[in-house]
């Protein structure tokens, strides 16, 4: 019995040594981020680059996803240093939060490849997604096909739903007949497999489907970056109060340095 | 334990036995405490949603659109005294019940007949292939079925089964594009049947051969002997299999979220044949689709209320199954 206990103690001691040594060796300050799944790929690229700079060397990152609203709520409760949000500040957000814009993104209207609709206006989008004034493709100006329109949307809790409502629907919620999918990918898949579907996704999710021009401008990275495309939205880093310490340095670098700008420009709309 | 198996204490009390007994007892207690804690936590979180809505929470005629209600709850003002809680969850409850009951009923029939075939009628070569395949199917993760559904079945139903006339007849109310209760029921049946087959096969095998041989020797054919003697004796196990399958069907979230349409719509039997291609969204799938809203307190309470309903249903299911099994056992001299 006592020999077993001694052996157990030795094992525990050895394990705890393993656990403590690396932590002591690092001694880096950790910046935590949680929030939007749309911002996630961008924030990972930014963080990776920053910890290689002179300033960033002293810091480490822990990055989680969860959705824009999770990020906002986490940061307001002090669970993370930065919340990532793909939606604008809302009146229902907790007080004292500071939204710092880090990049722009475009929301594209997509249809099935067999329905290469040339152009769509805000008015048409509202007639399809709000009260169903348009239920057949023959009612849509310029539509090459006929048949019932199958609108596909996102769940009301997503940041993309919020952006779509504010940019295209004039602040009104989409009708309850619109399917509320859980992710960009599911909307993309739904449109891909249904000839009569129409949906909205982030610019990064437009492969395999037809991207419709909005008000005569194509939804492309170039048009979005030159601000000709009307369906752009912002990505934010949210902090509780003005950023301080490492978070402030990271945010300054993200919003001001050329290196950060270049990373943003690969797939998103840079600030300058 | 010792007494039940008729073992005598050998000499002085064995200390390693004693230690094992204590350890296992402690583990069992931890499990019980965890379950109790979970139930208390879920109900405590869910309570505001139930208390604000009363019986309208369950009322089929309470009215309102469940998705509009979810959106309103999600957008409640930040002030706790102004939280919105209105939730008439009937369409979600209805979708859960419809999909679960249909797939379990179809699944039990299939499982019973397949198990009878495997145990009694299948040639040896076929049986050697069938049994491992069934067990493998029982272990396939549900997300794989979901992918097959969304990539193959949903587009097929949308493009080939649903007619243009049917789509037009409900345009503007609900979108018929493939995701539907029918696809959900079909895939769920495929998902839960293998585990039922595996359990029923074991149960049929456990019935003493002598009983069946006895009836065969009286001149009854194999099918009748199987049906009237073996299956009858194995009834408690069949109920157990059905209960297990129902529990799995009830809690299935990911697959149903992918193939049933993500709309809080209650399919209307008066719509005729298109009833089965209308979309719906069961409780568990609603939790998955909207888990991003957990950061909004009243919305989280509502999702916990869905979870509480699922927990209670699962509990009722267990008790119901236990009661039926006890009842059956009294009349069947079952060895199981």
| A184-217 pLDDT per residue, tens | 888 999 999 988 999 999 888 888 999 999 999 9
Q: Which has more pLDDT, A28 or A219?
A: A219
- Is A181 at the interface with chain B, CB within 8 A? yes
pLDDT of residue A22 exceeding 70, the answer is: no
CA distance to partner chain A, nearest, from residue B65 (Å): 7
Alpha-carbon span B218 to B292, nearest angstrom = 65
pLDDT higher than threshold 50 for residue B1: no
Answer whether A66's CB lies under 8 Å from A159's CB.
no
Question: A91 versus A87: which is more confidently predicted?
Answer: A87
List the one residue out of B178, B175, B261, B172 whose CA is nearest residue A127.
B172
**A147 contacts chain B (CB < 8 A):** yes
Could you give the CA distance from residue B157 to residue B44 in angstroms, rounded to a whole number? 42
Give the pLDDT mean for B253-267. Answer: 89
* Residue of A46, A85, A30, A32 lying closest to A257 (CA atoms): A46
Cα–Cα distance, A180 to A158 (Å, whole number): 10
Q: Is A194 an interface residue toward B (CB < 8 Å)? A: yes
Could you give the maximum distance between any two Cα atoms of chain A, in Å? 85
Average per-residue pLDDT for chain A: 85
Q: Which pLDDT belongs to residue A9?
A: 54
| Reported ipTM exceeds the 0.95 cut | no
The token pair that represents A129 in the structure block: 């997604």
- On whether the CB atoms of residues A136 and A147 are closer than 8 A, the answer is yes
A157:B293 CB<8 A: yes
Q: How far is B157 from chain A (nearest CA, A)?
A: 10
Chain B residues with beta carbon closer than 8 angstroms to that of A74: 295
pLDDT level of residue A17 (50, 70, 90 thresholds): very low
Q: Which of A2-11, A46-55, A256-265, B45-54 has the lowest mean pLDDT?
A: A2-11
For chains A and B, what is the number of CB pairs under 8 angstroms? 115
Q: Is the pLDDT of residue A12 over 70?
A: no
Strands A97-111 and A232-240: antiparallel
Q: Is residue A93 pLDDT above 90, yes or no?
A: no
| Residue in chain B nearest A72 by alpha carbon | B295
Q: Across residues B42-55, what is the average pLDDT?
A: 93
Residue of A nearest to B175 (CA): A150
Phi, psi for A199 (deg, rounded to 5): -150, 180
Q: Which residue has the tokens 């943003």?
A: A264
Mutate to test the interface with A, among B175, B264, B296 (most CBs of A within 10 A): B175
Instruction: Say how far apart CA A151 and CA B89 lie, in whole Å.
Output: 24
DSSP 3-state assignment of A111? strand
Which of these, A252, A257, A253, A264, lies nearest to A221 by C-alpha position?
Answer: A264
Question: What integer is the mean pLDDT of B123-144?
Answer: 92
Supply φ then ψ for residue A99, to 5 degrees: -95, 120
Report pLDDT for A2.
Answer: 55
Average pLDDT over residues A163-183: 88
Average pLDDT over residues B169-195: 89
At residue A114, the pLDDT reads 93
Q: Locate B312 and state its tokens.
A: 């209670």
Q: For residue range B59-80, what is the model confidence (pLDDT) as tens digits?
A: 888 878 888 899 889 888 777 8
pLDDT at B2: 45
pLDDT (mean) for B84-104:
93
At residue A11, the pLDDT reads 53
What does the pLDDT look like over B286-322, one tens digit per residue?
Answer: 998 888 787 788 999 999 999 999 999 999 999 999 9
pLDDT for residue B332: 59
Highest mean pLDDT among A63-77, A208-222, B156-170: A208-222
pLDDT band for position B192 (50/70/90)? very high
Distance CA B181, CA B176 (A): 11
Q: If you search the block for the tokens 């559904």, which residue do you land on? A: B149
**pLDDT-based confidence at residue A25 (cuts at 50, 70, 90):** very low
In this structure, the number of other CB atoms found within 10 A of the CB of residue A130 comes to 18
DSSP E strand stretches across A42-156? 59-63, 82-85, 97-111, 119-120, 150-154
d(CA B162, CA B278): 10
Please tell me the distance from the alpha carbon of residue B83 to that of residue A71, in angstroms, as a whole number: 21
Q: What is the pLDDT of residue A10?
A: 55
Give the whole-angstrom CA distance, residue B194 versus residue B296: 40
Is the Cβ–Cβ distance between A247 and A82 less than 8 Å?
yes
pTM above 0.95, yes or no: no
Contacts of A252 (CB under 8 A, 6+ apart): none
Q: CA distances (Å), A251 to each of A46, A53, A98, in order?
A: 10, 14, 12
Indicate the angle between helix axes A122-129 and A159-168, nearest 10 degrees: 130
Reply yes or no on whether the pLDDT at B336 is more than 70.
Answer: no
Q: Contact A181/B289, CB-based, under 8 Å?
A: yes
pLDDT of residue A239: 94
- Which contacts qualify for B109-116: CB closer than 8 Å, 24 or more apart? B110/B189, B110/B193, B110/B197, B111/B193, B111/B196, B111/B197, B111/B200, B111/B241, B111/B245, B112/B200, B112/B231, B112/B238, B114/B193, B114/B197, B115/B196, B115/B197, B115/B200, B115/B201, B115/B203, B115/B204, B116/B204, B116/B226, B116/B227, B116/B231
């Amino acid at each position: 019995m006592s020999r077993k206990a001694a052996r157990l103690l030795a094992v525990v001691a050895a394990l705890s040594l393993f656990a403590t040594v690396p932590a002591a060796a690092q001694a880096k300050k950790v910046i935590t981020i949680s929030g939007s799944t749309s911002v996630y790929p961008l924030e990972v690229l930014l963080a990776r680059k920053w910890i290689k700079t002179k300033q960033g060397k002293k810091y480490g990152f822990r990055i989680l996803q969860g959705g824009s609203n999770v990020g906002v709520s986490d940061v307001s409760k002090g669970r993370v240093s930065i919340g990532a949000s793909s939606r604008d500040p809302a009146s229902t957000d907790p007080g004292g939060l500071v939204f710092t814009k880090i990049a722009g993104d475009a929301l594209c209207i997509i249809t099935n490849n067999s329905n290469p609709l040339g152009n769509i206006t805000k008015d048409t989008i509202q007639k399809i997604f709000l009260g169903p004034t348009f239920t057949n493709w023959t009612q849509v100006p310029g539509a090459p096909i006929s048949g019932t329109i199958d609108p596909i949307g996102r769940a009301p809790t997503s940041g993309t739903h919020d952006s779509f409502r504010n940019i295209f629907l004039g602040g009104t919620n989409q009708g309850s007949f619109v399917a509320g999918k859980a992710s960009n990918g599911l909307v993309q898949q739904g449109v891909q497999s249904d000839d009569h579907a129409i949906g909205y996704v982030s610019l990064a999710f437009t492969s395999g489907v037809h991207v419709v021009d909005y008000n005569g401008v194509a939804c492309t990275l170039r048009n979005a970056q030159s601000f000709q495309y009307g369906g752009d939205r912002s990505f934010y880093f949210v902090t509780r109060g003005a950023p301080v310490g490492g978070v402030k340095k990271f945010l300054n670098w993200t919003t001001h340095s050329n290196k950060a700008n270049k990373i943003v420009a690969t797939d998103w709309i840079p600030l300058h | 334990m010792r007494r039940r198996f008729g073992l005598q204490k050998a000499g002085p009390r064995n200390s390693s036995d004693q230690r094992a007994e204590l350890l296992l007892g402690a583990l069992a207690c931890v499990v019980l405490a965890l379950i109790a804690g979970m139930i208390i936590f879920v109900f405590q979180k869910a309570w505001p949603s139930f208390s604000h809505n009363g019986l309208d929470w369950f009322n089929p005629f309470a009215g309102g659109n469940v998705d509009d209600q979810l959106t309103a709850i999600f957008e409640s003002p930040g002030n706790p005294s102004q939280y919105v809680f209105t939730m008439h969850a009937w369409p979600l409850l209805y979708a859960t019940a419809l999909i679960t009951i249909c797939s379990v009923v179809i699944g039990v029939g299939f499982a019973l007949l397949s198990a009878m075939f495997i145990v009694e009628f299948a040639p040896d070569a076929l049986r050697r292939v069938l049994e491992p395949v069934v067990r493998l199917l029982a272990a396939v993760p549900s997300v794989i079925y979901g992918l097959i559904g969304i990539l193959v079945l949903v587009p097929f139903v949308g493009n080939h089964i649903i007619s243009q006339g049917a789509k037009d007849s409900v345009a503007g109310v609900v979108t018929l594009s493939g995701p539907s209760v029918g696809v959900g029921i079909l895939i769920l049946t495929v998902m839960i049947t293998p585990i039922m087959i595996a359990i029923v096969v074991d149960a049929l095998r456990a019935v003493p051969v002598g009983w069946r041989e006895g009836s065969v020797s009286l001149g009854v054919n194999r099918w009748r002997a199987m049906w009237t003697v073996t299956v009858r004796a194995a009834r408690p196990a069949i109920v157990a299999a059905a209960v297990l399958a129902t529990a799995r069907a009830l809690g299935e979230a990911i697959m149903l979220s992918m193939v049933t349409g993500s709309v809080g719509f209650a399919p209307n039997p008066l719509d005729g044949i298109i009833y089965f291609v209308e979309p719906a969204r069961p409780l568990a799938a609603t939790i998955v689709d909207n888990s991003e809203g957990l950061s909004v307190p009243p919305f989280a309470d509502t999702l916990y209320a869905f979870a509480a309903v699922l927990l209670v249903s699962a509990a009722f299911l267990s008790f119901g199954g236990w009661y039926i099994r006890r009842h059956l056992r009294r009349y069947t001299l079952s060895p199981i």
